[in-house]
């Protein structure tokens, strides 16, 4: 992990730790700088902090391979075990190459990490955390809708 990734992760975890905070945290960096890795580790932290409904979006679930890889690395570091503490759900759509679309966590209580398509902002009513990866590839009006009324 680079110094910049560590600083980004710390910022994310500080926002996640204060559940009363309705914060928006953004991360911008050049391509290949480890943004998805930092986001994935932050999502593992959110699971450890007890967030029940985590949604993640990107233009396609195939874009989330690195992000989910680092969610799992974070869960491993926190002592979570696949099948014992969580299961992953892969897409059955052949066009998506078995991309991960959901993680069901059942260690302490029911928690989910769920992929949603960027057009599905209407399902975010129960979201405790929304992660937008590859936001630059999503049309700005759609990103604003995902972000909610404060950003319109």
Whether 100 and 90 have beta carbons less than 8 Å apart is answered as yes
Do 101 and 70 meet the contact criterion of CB atoms below 8 Å apart? no
Question: pLDDT tens-digit profile of 109-132?
Answer: 999 999 999 999 888 888 999 999
**E-assigned strand segments in 18-144:** 53-57, 86-90, 100-105, 111-116, 129-132
| pLDDT average, residue stretch 96-102 | 94
Q: Does any domain span residue 64?
A: yes
pLDDT at 28: 81
* Total structural domains within the chain: 1
Within a domain: 26: no
CA angle 47, 51, 57 (to 5 degrees): 80
Q: Does residue 24 lie in a domain region?
A: no
* Structure-block tokens of residue 54: 């985590």
Q: Tell how strand 100-105 and strand 86-90 pair up.
A: antiparallel
| pLDDT 10s digits, 66-84 | 999 999 999 999 999 999 9
**Are the C-beta atoms of residues 77 and 44 closer than 8 Å to each other?**
yes
pLDDT, residue 21, reads 66
What was the pLDDT predicted at 30? 74
In a domain, 22, yes or no: no
Is 23 inside any structural domain?
A: no
Res 125: pLDDT: 86
- pLDDT for 78 equals 97
pTM of the shown model: 0.90
pLDDT band at 90, cuts 50/70/90? very high
Domain interval for residue 132: 3-17+33-151
Please check whether residue 28 lies inside any domain of the structure: no
Give the span between the Cα atoms of 148 and 24, in whole angstroms. 11
Q: List, for residues 50-63, the tens digit of each pLDDT value.
A: 999 999 999 999 99
């Amino acid at each position: 992990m680079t110094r910049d990734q560590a600083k980004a992760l710390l910022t994310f975890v500080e926002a996640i730790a204060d559940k009363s905070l309705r914060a928006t945290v953004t991360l911008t960096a050049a391509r290949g700088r480890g943004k998805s890795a930092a986001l994935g580790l932050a999502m593992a932290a959110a699971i450890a902090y007890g967030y029940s409904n985590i949604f993640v979006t990107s233009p396609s679930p195939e874009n989330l391979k690195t992000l989910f890889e680092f969610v799992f690395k974070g869960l491993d570091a926190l002592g979570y075990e696949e099948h014992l503490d969580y299961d992953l759900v892969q897409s059955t759509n052949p066009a998506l190459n078995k991309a991960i679309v959901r993680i069901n966590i059942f260690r302490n209580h029911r928690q989910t990490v769920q992929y949603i398509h960027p057009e599905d902002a209407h399902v975010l009513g129960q979201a405790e955390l929304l992660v937008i990866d590859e936001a630059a590839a999503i049309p700005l009006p759609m990103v604003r809708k995902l972000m909610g009324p404060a950003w319109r």
